[in-house]
Structure 1
Amino acid sequence: MKIHLSSVFVDDQDKALRFYTDVLGFTKKHDVPVGTDRWLTVVSPEEPDGTELLLEPSGHPAVQPYKAALVQDGIPATAFAVDDVHAEFDRLRGLGVRFTQEPLEMGTVTTAVLDDTCGNLIQIVHSE
């Protein structure tokens, strides 16, 4: 068994697609109309057949309180692996990305947390 799909709830699918592709560097995989929303997924260009991230609409009434509680407590909705947290932090900050946690080294793990502009905190992580 392996993870095929994960999701983050986003306030605006178009805005999320721009951020996750133009800023974070993911590639759009699926964009299928489903009523007023879309089945919209992105993948890592390094693994185009790998795990997909669904940019899921935040329409369900439970989503906004859930997302607000996570953000208020500083809890990331998900985490993405990077080769070098410090280099990725510098690259993303140069693109105007707002971080809520600068790179933090914890033993063999380095993390940083960013705001995805769509209502989520996202952690980037590197393990030695």
Structure 2
Amino acid sequence: MDITIHTTVLPHDDPDASLAFYRDTLGFEVRKDVGSGKMRWITVGPPGQPSTSILLAPPAADPGVTEEERRVITEMMAKGTYGWILLATPDLDGTFDKLQAGDAEVVQEPMEQPYGVRDCAFRDPAGNLIRIQEVR
């Protein structure tokens, strides 16, 4: 079986702030930006990796989601417990410094984890947790 990860989805509640974070702070390419106002679906991805993307989507855009479910999703996003992603870099300290200088919300500074991974963590403007592992 030959399976690859093509796209993962993270919610956003402010498309302009999310776009600025993923494009300007993380350095991702903008591949698509569809919709208007807060109802925008923005596809971004790392340069040189055209087959891997993140879709930044409005939360609970499905008309079948109830108002109560929307409220819960909004609360979970604010706490950073709704969406998260794991990224990797060979230069964790340099990446951390760049993100911190870009005013990203630091959750955890670079550290060795007991399970053998060195990583750090941030939140994007919507509250999504972004963990970044060092790969050697």
**Which TM-score band applies after superposition, normalised by the shorter structure?**
0.7 to 0.9
What residue in structure 2 maps to residue 88 of structure 1? 95
Deviations 1:48-106 (A, max 9, x none): x221100111245152243345x36xx97111111211111112212222211010113
Q: CA RMSD in A?
A: 2.4
Unpaired segments ≥5 residues, structure 2: 62-69
Matches within 5 A, 1:1-128: 1-33=3-35, 37-47=39-49, 49-59=50-60, 61=70, 62-68=72-78, 71=80, 77-106=84-113, 108-128=116-136
Q: Output the amino acid matched with 1:7.
A: V
- Using the size of structure 1 for normalisation, the TM-score is 0.82
Ranges in structure 1 where 5+ consecutive residues have no aligned partner:
none
Question: Percent of pairs identical after alignment?
Answer: 33
| TM-score under structure 2 length normalisation | 0.78
Secondary structure in structure 2 of the residue aligned to 1:81: strand
Runs of 4+ in 1 over 3 A off after TM superposition: none
For the pair shown, which has the larger CA radius of gyration, 1 or 2? 2
Q: What's the secondary structure of 2:27's corresponding residue?
A: coil
Report the counterpart of residue 66 of structure 2 in structure 1. Answer: none
